[in-house]
Structure 1
Amino acid sequence: MIAQVVPILLAFGANLDRADGSRSDTIAAAQREIAEAAGIERFRASPLRETVALTPDGPDPEAPRYLNGVALAETTLSPHSLLDLLQAVEARHGRVREVRWGDRTLDVDLILYGGRVVADERLMVPHPRAHERDFVLAPWLDLDPDAVLMGHGRVDAILRRIGDSTLPYGGDG
């Protein structure tokens, strides 16, 4: 039996440095781990962008700023096996889940899994808030200017509608 190859979109974010590296180092290391994992092929990462921290109450300019980016890839993993991989990578990079939308060393979200809809207690795909997040949409357009977000339309049109507050990332330091 040949495994089905499914296109995926992943989103990466970090706003806390680790003792062993900066936000960008953490994201780059996580991207390498995922790209080299069994069942992942054709991994392409966007340039990183910097954004204000987003909390349940809205933007927080006092919190450490986030670095964000996305990656397009293909996988033969099931949605939940892919989620397990992403959460294991997050854990290896110090991710803790104590405060919803809290500061973090690494966040990796599964935004799209082919054209599939997954909705259960562990996973919602397409990501339910991707259409509201310039820090997902803007770097996605860097990789695919013709991108379409399932259920919401062309990414360039969505981004024009919500606005783009992201800034090109010039490096930690």
Structure 2
Amino acid sequence: MAKINYKAALVAGIAAGFVSGLVKLGWENLMPPRTPERDATNPPQKLLEQLGVPKSVTHSTYTYSGHQLPWVSYLVHFSFSSGFGALYSVGGQLLPWIKVGQGIPFGLGVWELFHVELMPKLGTVPRAKEQPLEEHVSEILGHAVWMWSTDLMANQIYQHLNNQK
């Protein structure tokens, strides 16, 4: 059994998670998961508000090229993506079955856990049966592509860092 370079796996997962977070944002531009009304307060904003963070913070924006962009939502989005990238990368070194299917089953499991189970139970999003079909299609495909891209990048970065020795 090869020795695991935990530092390289962690760095690879965080970096891959950040980049795959960009992939997921791009996906959501092509197939928006929520209606404009439901996105007025998106799930990261709603969850933070449920935790007591004021709306003045959760809806804070910055301006780029004339667009108001939700930096707090992006902070949550990229933290989530990098955190799961790290979990996937390190966990996949310890338990290789986690990486079955190039991360797609893992990504679908994350979708199931958060979008079907946890966030509806917390009242952050409607129950799965009350969510539109378009939301499920976007989120299912988006999570598959998100974790697949995490897998590709994390593996490459991990190999690169291990060859730097």
Same fold (TM over 0.5): no
Structure (1 or 2) with the greater strand fraction: 1
Larger Rg: 2
Structure (1 or 2) with the greater helix fraction: 2
Could you say which structure has the greater relative contact order, defined with CA pairs below 8 angstroms and 6 or more residues apart? Answer: 2
